[in-house]
Amino acid sequence: SSFSSSSSSSSPLPPTPAPTPPPLFPHASTVDPSFADASGGQVVVINWASGLPSGVDANSQVVFWPGTSGVSIDILRSGLSVICPSTEILGAFEGTVRDAAGGLLATFDFEFKRSPTVSPGMVAMSGGDVSVTVYEVPAGYESSPGDCRVVFGTLQTASLGVLSVDALGNLTIPLQATVTAPAQSSAGPYIVYMSCGGAGQGGRLSTSVTYVQMPSLSATTPEREGCKVFSECTALVTIANPPSTVKDVQSLSLAVSGPTLLDGAAPYLYVLTLSSVEMVVRIHLPAAQTADPFSCSVAPKTAVSGFTVAQMTVTASVPVTAPSPTVQRVSPSSASALGGTLVTLVAGWLPVVARRNTPDVTFAGVPSGSVTVSYSDTFATEVVAEVPAVASGAGVSEVVVSSGGSSATSSFQLITPGVTVSCTAGCVTSLAGGSEATLVVVGFPSGSMYSVKVGDNAAQISTMQFSAAGDSLTVVLPGYAPASSAAEHKVWATVTSLVGDASVSAAAQLTYREPPKVVSAVFDSTGMLVSISFDQDTNGGGAPSCLSYFLPTDLAAFGASPKCVWASARALTVTLSHGATVVPGSQVAIILDTVSSLDGASGVGTGTTFTVLAPDVKQAPTILLTGPNGIGACDSARLTVEGTVGRDATYAWSCFDNSAVDAIVRTQTGSSVSVPGSAIPIGAPVTVSATATTFLGALSAPSTIRVAAKSVPPPVVAMTLDPEPYKRSTGISAFASAQLSACAPPGATLQISFSWVVSAGELPLPAPQAVAVASGSSLYIPPGTLQGGQKYHIRCLVVDGAGTTSSVERVIRVSSAPLVVSLLGGDRLAFRGSTGVTLDASLSYDPDQCGEAAAKEGSCQSTGIVYAWECALSSGGLCRSGTGDRAVASFATLGVISVDPSRLSLEGESFVEMKVSARKGERVSTAVARISLADQLVEEVLVSLQSYSATRVSFVGSAASGGYAW
């Protein structure tokens, strides 16, 4: 009844509603995250309040959309984790967990969204037209449908005007708009989203566009003595902001123009360092035939999307000089003034015409009547000339090789026939002189008395001994004042008879050595070591105390306990230690009162001051940004830069997709920052980026981390990894630390479980498809597990006592290790007339293919290594055949070769150096063995590794005669 007249009668009670039946299958209490991008690849954790539903096991699968394929799961304490597949279906739905037979076990709520897209994804700093597509109704559309704009960072476009709607008046989705991206002041990624009426992002998904700084030339550095006519050369080219499409040398093209080149001569390049901010390449240039500069254009084979190859091409100019021709070798260096002696001369830097026409040769101004060309090529010209009769008689004169209007000159001694002088002892001295030399004179008139001049200075004869075989003169050498500084000076000692014919004379060459001088002091590419180079081989060796060369006050610049090691007879290296203050431009005093030439003849040096220089190639630091990927609103994310950065580094922080967070981190300059969770909107993760710059000025590539604020505060988890580089041959350790959120819900405890999954590639994979899995707070990946040159995804999932989960993820790249080149036997002595010296590099190996242990055991069978050999002379230049066309010596491209010294032109050479290059793909490593040349047969002695342990290394020697000494 709608009306009642009795106040005493009670109103009827409403019917009791039927109780809501419990769901037939458990429905998830939390899903983190509650949505995913349709591109897939995200790790989703699903929990049930009452624990893992009955029947769910490792064989169960998650079905996101009805009718789609199931996805494998990983079991957690009170739930499971699953990796979202990619999908074309957008929207909210109820997902299911099913057993292996397809039976329903549990349900959960989820949503697939799609982030906006921008094409092209990269634009110039000045901006440009792009196409933006959004798949959600923009924030603020309902209240301001006619004022929608695209936002790029903090800048927005003009209004898009009236947007397209369907028949029901709903906004057409997806919505596409072509807009002009505004100019930005700095390169890098910028957040992109659509918003209406200034409503901001409003919880909608965003994307990013990268503003690209065009590649530019930073520096061009010719190496060694630079590029000269007729000689190959190399130059370092440093390029700022290399295109992102450049991954290795195969991604680059090189075009060279300028000087005339020989037919078939081709330039090539190597990539020395490559990061997003800088690339250094070494360009090998063929021998220029004219003195025109090289123009070297380096370009990516594929341009960044939205740009052309021409826009990304960098051109460097390398100068070419034409030095004066020089005589490199004269043999013999003296001959009878009556003529008839054949003299071999090697001249460099002669014009190209020397290869077509026979050069002119004069001795003491008198033309040679017989000149033949042995060879003439890019490297040098060798001629054999007959000494003419010289009317002026004996004395120090000149030999001149001329061609095409250019000439090369060297001193030459004309002697009286049958009269010789040779130096048999004390032939090398210091500039101060004062030492004694023994000169043996033969063929002078009987009973001669002698005078000796060294250069222009008279030398005192302290004793004379006469014999039928020759007279022996002991001479006190005078001092020598050179016109210019050099490591050594060749000076003629002329002996003249004071009896009978005063024109009877002969000469022998002496050597005056200057004390070693510091020619350079340069940081290595890492800034951890300074290499001090000298102008000649010194008596230095081993690892002496640095106090032998530096006063304590000067040594302090290298740190508290630097180490000094002679890397070679010409190079002293100082390894810096804690507290070092030396930087490029620092001046350091060095003491040289114990440093002399290798033979000691120069005498010791004096103190000097050198300037430490920056290296031509700076090694960019490798950094990793560590910290939690998820925090509660009441927590802070502590983000820390780890890696090989070194001392006095500076750091720069940014956040491109949240202006409030960007303002926070940009004010912090240390190696770590703190981001409060209250600054991060729920459901809108932020991307924080950091770079590091070393004291040498090398800038790292940016390292980024994504941090999300969550409505249910998760454990705050951080991952620490071993520093880069990562190698196949070494193990990798990772550690996870976790603490409860400051606003953790009741029931959360520190009973935290950890699970690790290592996946091949940049995206996570389920545990059954993983490379490695582990539990506990640490992960160790043994050597040999990961492959060189590949990327791997590492994730650690943490669950607290209340079932709340958090994860931290990292992507690492395992570097390709350098090839290890081994030359059996090392340096050796060989008879210059021997017919076979075996060089064996067959034990060289690829650490990415087999580990160090296998190489030590001799069981490493690396495949794909290609060998190349080169022979260099002690006098400079390349080895040549001793017969025929005197061509540059070539060798088989094998791991084991036999060198035949008897077939090489080795006159006047004291040694040859055999260099082997091992190549596999773009990796090249080299090793050098010096073969010292003896004038008599030499027994072959070999040494090899017998066993190797952590505490002992054993070697075995082999020689036919025995009688070993070690």
How high is the pLDDT of residue 597? Answer: 96
Of 608, 593, 598, 590, nearest in space to 540 by CA: 598
Q: What is the DSSP string of 502-562?
A: TT-EEEEEEEEEPPP-EEEEEE-TTSSEEEEEESS-BS--S---GGGTS-HHHHGGG-SS-
On whether the CB atoms of residues 236 and 272 are closer than 8 A, the answer is yes
The residues, any chain, with a CB within 8 Å of residue 706's CB and separated by 6 or more, are: 629, 685, 686, 687
Strand partners, 96: 63, 107
Q: What is the DSSP string of 546-562?
A: GGGTS-HHHHGGG-SS-
How high is the pLDDT of residue 299? Answer: 97
Cis peptide bond upstream of 66, omega within 30: no
Cα–Cα distance, 565 to 576 (Å, whole number): 12
Strand partners, 257: 295
User: Which residue's entry shows tokens 């109820």?
Assistant: 94
The residues, any chain, with a CB within 8 Å of residue 7's CB and separated by 6 or more, are: none
| Count of helix runs (H) and strand runs (E) in the chain | 3, 71
Q: What residue spans of 774-874 are helical by DSSP H? A: 852-857
Cα–Cα distance, 599 to 272 (Å, whole number): 38
How high is the pLDDT of residue 20? Answer: 58
What are the residue ranges in the chain where pLDDT is below 70?
1-23, 352-355, 378-379, 500-503, 746-750, 851-861, 922
Cα–Cα distance, 752 to 81 (Å, whole number): 16
Cα–Cα distance, 883 to 788 (Å, whole number): 47
Tokens of 11: 């109103």
On whether the CB atoms of residues 584 and 523 are closer than 8 A, the answer is yes
Question: In terms of DSSP bridges, do strands 406-415 and 436-442 run parallel, antiparallel, or are they unpaired?
Answer: unpaired
User: For the chain, how far is it from start to end, CA to CA, in angstroms?
Assistant: 120
Distance (Å) of CA 373 to CA 351, 360, 381, 885: 14, 11, 8, 10
Complete domains list, the chain, with CATH: 30-113 (2.60.40.10), 117-212 (2.60.40.10), 216-321 (2.60.40.10), 326-415 (2.60.40.10), 420-513 (2.60.40.10), 518-613 (2.60.40), 712-816 (2.60.40.10), 828-958 (2.60.40)
Cα–Cα distance, 512 to 495 (Å, whole number): 18
Cα–Cα distance, 570 to 519 (Å, whole number): 10
Cα–Cα distance, 239 to 218 (Å, whole number): 5
Q: Which helix (H) or strand (E) covers residue 666, if one does?
A: helix 659-666
What does DSSP assign to residue 25?
A: S
Task: Count the Cβ atoms, other than its own, within 10 Å of residue 761.
Answer: 13
Tokens of 305: 């999307």
How high is the pLDDT of residue 2? Answer: 39
